[in-house]
Amino acid sequence: GVMERLGLGPEVLLQENPRLIYARLTGFGQTGKYAKSAGHDINYLALSGVLSKLGRKNENPYAPVNLLADFAGGGVMCALGIVIALFERARSGRGQVIDASMVEGVAYLSSFLWKSQSLGLWSQPRGENLLDGGAPFYEIYRTSDGKFMAVGAIEPKFYNQLIKGLGLNLDELPAQMSFSDWPEMKKKFASIFAQKTQAEWCSIFDSTDACVTPVLSFEDAASHPHNKERSSFIKNDQGEMSPRPAPVLSRTPGVPSCKRDPFIGEHTEEILLEYGFTKQEIDKLHSDKAIELKDIKANL
């Protein structure tokens, strides 16, 4: 209702320009019991049903920072909605309103979880299934130097290479999908991974299809040979690293800026002057705390 109070709701603006695409990104959506309620990523994740699936066995559900609802179910899904609306407008010549709910966005993102329930992938309690920490071959293990290795050897041919890399004999182990043996196998794998450093495990698994990779810090990810070869991370003029835009388009790839991020309020006055505001009007907006301007005084 904020835009309506400003007289800038979609009904008003679409009358001015019927081709307008008006995206509304909120936590709970434009209608429903919670439509006007406050919330954050963890709340949207909870209401979507997804949070109930995340976390270790015998522990509380665990929210993975604010990536899923805010950015994936929210920002990315909203951007996809805009792209779809642009594509449709090319045919109809008409715009429309996008109701992007983070609850629904992250729920739709989790369609695989819903659709695969009948396959038995999620028949056990949280933390006891194939992909949520139950399987010994889809798990994260600590190394002797306090780092970690990620294991995702689901298919038998990959699992066989995992077993070989660990120095075990497949014939002397329980069947890969013997659920009752998973807890004991996890202990065995954990004990073996704890005997070597992350670098030593990388030297064993890097040239295989065992689906075993190091768990890298941001700094290590930026300097990893694979990522460096693809220029997956870029450095700005202040020496700060960040991911390169993805995915990479063959004909019109995104060209990232190597300039530092602007300070809060750094360009506010410049932009408002460009749009016709007077210096007096800008000063009034600043004194009313409606805008922020860059602090021109040195902070000593």
pLDDT digits (tens, 9 = 90+) for 113-150: 999 988 888 888 999 999 999 999 999 999 999 999 99
Q: Which stretches of the chain are DSSP H helices?
A: 2-5, 10-16, 41-48, 77-92, 102-109, 111-115, 156-165, 182-193, 198-205, 218-223, 225-229, 268-274, 279-287
**Is 244 within the bounds of a domain?**
no
The confidence score (pLDDT) of residue 300 equals: 43
User: Which residue out of 41, 70, 261, 295 is catalytically annotated?
Assistant: 70
Co-location of 267 and 211 in the same domain? no
Determine the angle formed by the axes of helices 41-48 and 102-109, rounding to 10 degrees: 60
Co-location of 78 and 142 in the same domain? no
**Is 229 within the bounds of a domain?**
no
* Domain termination site, one of 119, 151, 167: 119
Residue pointed to by tokens 């699936």 = 53
Q: How many domains does the chain have?
A: 3
Confidence band of 296 (pLDDT split at 50, 70, 90)? low
Give the chain's count of helices (H) and strands (E). Answer: 13, 7
Structure tokens that stand for 144 in this block: 């002797």
Q: For the domain that residue 41 is a member of, what is the CATH number?
A: 3.40.50.10540
User: Which residue out of 40, 226, 267, 283 is catalytically annotated?
Assistant: 40
**Is 79 within the bounds of a domain?**
yes
Co-location of 112 and 173 in the same domain? no
Co-location of 112 and 195 in the same domain? no
**Is 252 within the bounds of a domain?**
no
Co-location of 108 and 161 in the same domain? no
- Express each pLDDT in 39-58 by its tens digit: 999 999 999 999 999 999 99
Assess contact for 107 and 73: CB atoms under 8 A.
yes
* Mean pLDDT in residue range 142-161: 98
- Express each pLDDT in 250-277 by its tens digit: 999 988 888 988 899 999 999 999 999 9
Co-location of 44 and 146 in the same domain? no
Q: Which of 11-25, 118-132, 161-175, 225-239 has the lowest mean pLDDT?
A: 118-132
**Is 196 within the bounds of a domain?**
yes
Domain span at residue 14 reads 2-119
**Is 159 within the bounds of a domain?**
yes
**Is 224 within the bounds of a domain?**
no
Co-location of 87 and 7 in the same domain? yes
Co-location of 165 and 112 in the same domain? no
The confidence score (pLDDT) of residue 297 equals: 52
**Is 220 within the bounds of a domain?**
no
Examine the residue annotation and report whether 295 is marked as an active-site residue of this protein: no
Co-location of 163 and 93 in the same domain? no
Assess contact for 14 and 8: CB atoms under 8 A.
no
The confidence score (pLDDT) of residue 298 equals: 43
Confidence band of 29 (pLDDT split at 50, 70, 90)? very high
Co-location of 111 and 6 in the same domain? yes
Co-location of 30 and 85 in the same domain? yes
Co-location of 16 and 47 in the same domain? yes
Examine the residue annotation and report whether 181 is marked as an active-site residue of this protein: no
Residue pointed to by tokens 């995206």 = 23
Average pLDDT, the chain: 94
Q: For the domain that residue 204 is a member of, what is the CATH number?
A: 3.30.1540.10
